[in-house]
């Protein structure tokens, strides 16, 4: 990606951000390096991805502090034309509440192939770690942990991609989901992190 291409992409994202999130939306200079990596990934720039040690065959785990704009950026990535950007953003808390109402079928639902194309369906599970273990008829389940493990098997066998956002670091994710999930996340996703100096965009 040339510098002029990157600037055009930033302008494109800023324009769509204002449409989706309101006129106060803006791209912050401190976030430009991270956004560059996201664009390289979602535009499938193989040469630059290799230079940046980004594996295009894996998903994305986007982490950073509360309010830094993780959800907004991943939402904006779906605005970029192309099948690789055609993923569904789902709140981890919402998925857990679905489990409380519908039970273990929810784990299967988020681990299935697409009904329409019989291809692996791409999800972005937002705010991973914000949910809590819930019970269905007295049985407690770490819902997102089970979904990650199920999707990992399909990642290995069929290349099913999974994206995630989280406020938590690796040790905190392991505390939530266990060492098996952490081990699989290492193989399943590229970890991209906001700068610690990034601002809280909600203020």
For 91-133, how does the pLDDT look when each residue is reduced to its tens digit (9 = 90+)?
A: 998 998 888 788 888 888 888 755 445 566 889 999 998 866 5
CA end-to-end span of the chain: 33
What is the CATH classification number for the domain harbouring 102? 3.40.50.300
160 within domain boundaries: yes
Q: What is the pLDDT of residue 142?
A: 84
The predicted pLDDT at position 104 comes to 81
pLDDT score for 170: 85
Report the chain's mean pLDDT, rounded to a whole number: 87
Distance CA 107, CA 150 (A): 8
CA angle in degrees (0–180, nearest 5) for 130-131-135: 165
What is the pLDDT at residue 102?
83
Q: Which helix (H) or strand (E) holds 171?
A: helix 170-177
Give the pLDDT score at 135: 45
pLDDT at 79: 87
Mean per-residue pLDDT, 42-52: 95
- Token couple for 89: 């953003």
Q: What residues contact 69, with CB distance under 8 A and at least 6 apart?
A: 31, 194, 198, 201
Is 41 a member of any domain?
A: no
Are 34 and 21 in contact by the 8 Å Cβ rule? The answer is: no
Q: Let me know if residue 24 belongs to a domain.
A: no
Residue 118 lies in a domain: yes
193: part of which helix (H) or strand (E)? strand 189-193
pLDDT of residue 136: 40
Q: Do the Cβ atoms of 126 and 110 come closer than 8 Å?
A: no
Name the more confident of 130 and 6: 6
pTM metric for this prediction: 0.89
Q: 171, exposed or middle or buried, with CB in 10 Å at 0-12, 13-18, 19+? A: exposed
33 assigned to some structural domain: no
pLDDT tens figures, 17-34: 999 999 999 999 999 999
Place of tokens 């040790």: 171
34 is a domain residue: no
* Residue at 124 is within a domain: yes
Range of the domain at 131: 55-193
Number of domains observed in the structure of the chain = 1
Per-residue pLDDT at 18: 94
Round to whole Å and give the CA distance between 177 and 102: 21
117 within a domain of the structure (yes/no): yes
% of the chain exceeding 90 in pLDDT: 55
pLDDT in tens, 129-177: 886 654 444 455 788 999 999 999 989 988 889 999 999 988 888 888 8
40-44, 156-160, 164-168, 197-201: which range is least confident on average? 197-201
- Smallest Cα–Cα separation from 41: which of 17, 15, 28, 59? 59
């Amino acid at each position: 990606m040339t510098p002029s291409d990157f600037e055009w992409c930033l302008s494109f994202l800023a324009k769509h951000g204002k449409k989706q999130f309101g006129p106060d939306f803006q791209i912050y200079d401190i976030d430009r390096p991270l956004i560059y990596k996201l664009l390289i990934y979602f535009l499938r720039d193989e040469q630059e991805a290799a230079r940046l040690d980004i594996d295009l065959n894996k998903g994305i785990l986007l982490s950073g502090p509360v309010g830094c704009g993780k959800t907004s950026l991943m939402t904006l990535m779906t605005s970029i034309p192309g099948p690789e950007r055609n993923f569904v953003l789902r709140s981890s808390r919402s998925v857990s509440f679905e489990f409380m109402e519908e039970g273990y079928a929810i784990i299967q639902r988020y681990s299935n192939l697409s009904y329409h194309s019989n291809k692996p369906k791409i999800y972005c599970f937002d705010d991973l770690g914000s949910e809590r273990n819930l019970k269905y008829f007295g049985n407690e389940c770490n819902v997102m942990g089970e979904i990650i493990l199920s999707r990992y098997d399909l990642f290995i066998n069929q290349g099913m991609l999974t994206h995630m956002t989280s406020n938590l670091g690796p040790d905190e994710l392991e505390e939530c989901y266990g060492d098996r999930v952490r081990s699989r996340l290492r193989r399943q996703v590229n970890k991209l992190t906001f700068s610690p100096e990034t601002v809280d965009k909600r203020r």
